[in-house]
Structure 1
Amino acid sequence: MSLLAHGNSILEVEVTNISTHGVWLFAHGEELFMSYDDFPWFREVAVKSIVNVEEQSPDHFYWPDLDVDLTREIIKHPERFPLKSKSR
């Protein structure tokens, strides 16, 4: 979401789309797609929980409502990181 620093709004990361196939995340000029098959934590949860995302450090994203922690590398190459949580 956006960070406020001295009255200035700086958009670090945001969810740009949620569909029946997955979630699109926009960060630093790049759109990243997270399919529900690879990222089941986002399936069947409230939209407000999905859009509540923070960038805790460069390219490290955290959804506090879901306790989901992902990096850009994991999102871009989920096949390299086969561990998955059980679907909710």
Structure 2
Amino acid sequence: MPSCVKVLNVSPNGVRLSVKGREHFLPYDEFPWFQNARLAEIQRVQLLHGRHLYWDRLDVDLDLDSLDQPAHYPLTYR
């Protein structure tokens, strides 16, 4: 069974993912945990319970709703 989540690109500006056929861009200024991470750490992502992205080596857990509707999640990293 193919994975429902795939890292498409890691650029100087952020990480582009495909999750269940939808693309998401995670810019480093909003998702700083990825900026200094190794490529292997970023690529090791799992989709848990159909809604949560989890990077075990980075200890990062993101709900898909926070990517689809960021206005509903006003707290951001500063």
TM-score category, normalised to shorter length: 0.7 to 0.9
Seq. identity, %: 34
Greater C-alpha Rg? 1
Structure number with the higher strand fraction is 1
CA root-mean-square deviation: 1.8
Instruction: Name the structure 2 match of 1:72.
Output: 64
Q: Deviations over 1:15-73 (max 9, x none)?
A: 11100110011011100010001000000110000000001111210000000000112
- 8 Å CA contact 2:4–2:21 kept in 1: the answer is no
Task: Kindly report structure 1 stretches of 4+ aligned residues shifted beyond 3 Å.
Answer: none
Aligned positions of 1:36-47 closer than 5 A: 36-47=28-39
Mind listing any 5+ residue stretches in structure 1 that lack a counterpart? 1-8
In the TM superposition, residue 78 of structure 1 has moved relative to its aligned partner by 6.6
Structure 1 residue 79 displacement after superposition: 7.3
Counterpart amino acid of residue 53 in structure 1 = V
TM-score by length of 1: 0.78
Alignment of 1:1-80 (within 5 A): 9-76=1-68, 77=70, 80=73
Q: Distance in 1 between the 2:71 and 2:13 partners?
A: 15
Which ranges in structure 2 are unaligned for 5 or more consecutive residues?
none
TM-score computed with the length of structure 2 as normaliser: 0.87
Q: Would you say how many aligned residue pairs link Structure 1 and Structure 2?
A: 77
